[in-house]
Amino acid sequence: MKNEWQTECSGAPSRRKFVMAATAAMLLGGVVPSAMAEDASSFPSKPITIMVPFSAGGTTDILARLIGQKLTERWKVAVVVDNKLGAGGNIGSAQVARSTPDGYTLVMGTIGTHAINPSLYASMPYDALKDFAPITRTAMVPNVLVVNPASPFNNVKEMIDYAKANPGKLTFGSSGHGSTLQLSGELFKMMAQVDMVHVPYKGSSPAVADLLGNQITMIFDNMPSSLPHVKAGKLKALGVTSSTRVSQLPDAPTLSEAGVPGYEVMSWFGLWAPAKTPQPIVEKLNHAIVEILKSPEVQQKISEQGAVPTPETPAEFDRFIRAETDKWSKVVKAAKLQAM
């Protein structure tokens, strides 16, 4: 009489072959059982990490923690924010690009990490377009062109006229080489056809301090940073870099309507998963985060930061990223900028 093991083996050759073939296919495809795609209906079943490639307390960090909190409330799983800064956001972003594509490791990236850095850095540790799966843009923040109250310029046209008559006499500060603040100024120079001198600082705070001291002519600053000074009368806003006026500064015209037609710069933020994350999981993340961004409570909190919520589909976000990458590569090349 055959024992149970013999009966099982002799009676199921086709099943053994199937299991062996499936195992081989997984190994050849670089897939191990523990990393097999989780069914989207059961996702998430463990904690999620949102990587913030910048320091705590900034707009990127605030957005990540706000969305993380709401995801925790929605899915009853912990959402941990991990700050790993360095190299203009490249270090933290690269870590996510190399992580397991299962939806449990995301990055809250920016216009810098995913649109500017690929042109700015001579060597990148990731491909911003190929190594990530876009989930959604989360918010946009307009910059504001501010001058000292003692400045003789009361509008953008006066500034442009002076700059054309006095090449190289005007200065604009920024938070550093390659920052969106510098690129806002470089784009302004290109489109207004003026020559101004860039003065880089180690962060926007010292740049604002020198502007308050009337040591430089202007800054194209992030709205949250300069808005309190404008409200207090310590800085004068000549225009905003968005395509439409902003509610926080209703009297400040857009730079496009103030004398530089077509000018628009918005610092933006978004969420990505690693490339090859299963599409159903990407869609589930998108659906949840879009609903969060559309909630009145979250919209108010984002607005308080001087930002605008921007929920969209993964496909819409992907098209936006590609357009921004092309736009800023031209600006970086024209300004002859490069970071090591």
Q: pLDDT digits over 272-308, tens only?
A: 999 999 999 999 999 999 999 999 999 999 988 778 8
**Closest-CA residue to 221 (of 147, 299, 313):** 147
Mean pLDDT over residues 56-75, rounded?
Answer: 92
Which phi-psi region, left, alpha or beta, contains residue 155 (left: φ > 0; alpha: ψ -120 to 50)?
beta
CATH 3.40.190.150 range(s) for the chain read 40-140+267-335
pLDDT of 29 above 50: no
Cα distances (angstroms) measured from residue 329 to each of 88, 102, 157, 322: 16, 31, 27, 11
Report residue 291: phi and psi, to 5°. Answer: -65, -40
pLDDT confidence of residue 340: 62
pLDDT confidence of residue 33: 40
DSSP secondary-structure letter at 22? H
Answer with the residue of higher pLDDT: 22 or 164: 164
pLDDT confidence of residue 226: 87
CATH 3.40.190.10 range(s) for the chain read 142-258
Classify residue 188 by burial, with Cβ atoms within 10 Å: 0-12, 13-18, 19+. Answer: buried
Alpha carbon distance 116, 112 (integer Å):
5
Angle at alpha carbon of residue 142, lines to 265 and 252, rounded to 5° = 105
In CATH, the number for domain 142-258 is: 3.40.190.10
Answer with the residue of higher pLDDT: 33 or 268: 268
User: Over the stretch 112-149, which tens digit does the pLDDT of each residue have?
Assistant: 999 999 999 989 999 999 999 999 999 999 999 999 99
Compute the mean pLDDT over every residue in the chain, rounded to the nearest whole number: 88
User: Over the stretch 243-267, which tens digit does the pLDDT of each residue have?
Assistant: 999 888 999 999 999 999 999 998 8
Q: What is the pTM of this model?
A: 0.76
Does the structural domain 40-140+267-335 have CATH classification 3.30.565.10?
no
pLDDT of 27 above 70: no
User: Over the stretch 157-173, which tens digit does the pLDDT of each residue have?
Assistant: 999 999 999 999 999 99
Alpha carbon distance 92, 303 (integer Å):
26
